[in-house]
Structure 1
Amino acid sequence: MRYLCPTLLLRQSGVLLLSFFVFVACEEAVDLDFDVPKRKLVLSSSFYPNEPVVLKVSATRPRGNAPASEIIDAQVSLFEGNELAEVLTYSPGLEHTMPGYYRTLDFTPVEGQQYTIHVSVPGFDPVTAISSIPEPVAINSLAVTNLTRMVEGDQVVYDYFLQIDYADPTSETNYYDLRISQLVIPFKVTAAGDTLRMDPVPKAVTTPRRLAADGESVSILLQDKAEDSVLEVHLQSMIHPRTELFDRIVAELRTVSPEYYFYQRSLVQPGELSGTGLEEPVIYYNNVNSGLGVFAGYNSVQQDFSPVQD
């Protein structure tokens, strides 16, 4: 006759007992004490003087903060100071490609005024955000130094330093988004041997450390500058000489609100903040009260320069 160890018997009984209680528990409702985050409205708007205010409205998913489907039944009001400027009108987007948006039809903002956006949607907490358009700052000069030309396969690479001087006011803190792009002139040779030039189109300008997508500009966020200093940026332009001519370098100096600056700065990937040692996840800046996103004004001036004569 074989005997079971008492300890083993207890363990086996325990398993059977546990299985019994699990089976019984499945027959009863179980209250799980989990907090489901309330959905929040998400706003996105960068507005410019004398142009309509355009605002995109979406919402977070029930769990997490990822944007979900757009909101088409919002009540959106824009105030200039304490006065109602206009109730924004919804414009449907292109199906499956671009979301719809809300916009002003008659009112355009101006620099130096404070603007408040109010958004309410059934089932959501109403949200507000405040921003303004700063005064523009002029570009004093553009210059190119150390221009070299290299042939790489079927491309010509122009390597150079772009020097930008701008009239930064010294009596106040200013924020900037300097955007640098380039234009090329596509052309083709006809059967008769004539060169047919087309209208200039944007093409990526890059830095030696960072490649850019077609048409993408270099964006540099700045806060003031030292008096009498000149900003210098190392750039590269790539041209297909059989189909393109180098046209112009375009510098757009955006004078931006603090909301614009800190939101765009929060979008910069940690690897792009060289020398900062930043390794923690980025926390996106948000100026929407009771919601998420950004509502921010900016101003802009442009100047172009032709460093290459083909």
Structure 2
Amino acid sequence: MKSNLKPLIRLGNTTPKECDVTPEAFFLNRRQFIRSALAAGLFSSPIAALADFNFSPNSTYRPNLKLTDSEHALNYNNFYELGTDKSDPPRYADRLITDNWQVRIEGECAKPQTFDMDDLLAFDQEERIYRFRCVEGWSMVVPWIGFPLSKLLDKVEPTSKAKYVEFISILDRENLPGQRFDILNWPYREGLRMDEAMHPLTLMTTGLYGKPLQNQNGAPIRLIVPWKYGFKSAKSIVTIRLTDKQPVSSWMAAAPSEYGFYSNVNPDVSHPRWSQAKERPLGSFFKQKTLLFNGYADEVASLYKGMDLKKNY
């Protein structure tokens, strides 16, 4: 089904052509789909039992990009807690237990507190179509559902000492097969500068393709930072910590010469083992040029004014 939506924002300095992105093959009425999927037992995440998953499209973030086929987005995943192969996350999705999920926000804030999923779903949920670029060189265009991280952080009232935000993912060595091996120093950790965390594009994500977030995609709640490489968008988050010190992310700790703190999408800065100049959209044989800040330069370049983007990779 083709979208009749006209571009409402420009992504960086280029409005991509339809032929530059992966074709769309999925978009069903969300309520009808949820009822049918619940009846068939298709959802892997218990949070999907919320049949009334209310959200609204955000017209500001609906560019004229065709969506990646949901079969690719749901079945080609990096989620090392469930295994290192791209097929491991959907294969072992049922090992991720999301019952009674809570997210604790602590550190440099006046009102530290714990939120359950009912609290998090009480924020106005909106659908945003974002580009997503993996550091490995593949990309997709996905309709995420969630709410700005800034709204959540405002609830805890960050103090003037809060310069960075650290995200900590689930630790469950008993159930998650990938965590039985020291692939990374578990639990998974990521971080943002405070102004990056508070930027309107930064999204706490609870769903995609019109339905609740699936386990293989980081259920029940994950981060999406669309101008950075995908590994910056921590999955299955259990703790958010405000701090005055720059966090050391899991990939920085594992390979400091390859992964920096910022990890902004930059076609001019190669990974030590491959070029980042081009990317392959999932479902496409052909590669396309990668855009600076993943196409969001107009929105986020000012965050890095005066910085050497090659040095601060």
TM-score band by shorter chain is under 0.3
Higher relative contact order (CA 8 A, sep 6+): 2
Whichever structure has more strand as a proportion of its residues is 1
Whichever structure has more helix as a proportion of its residues is 2
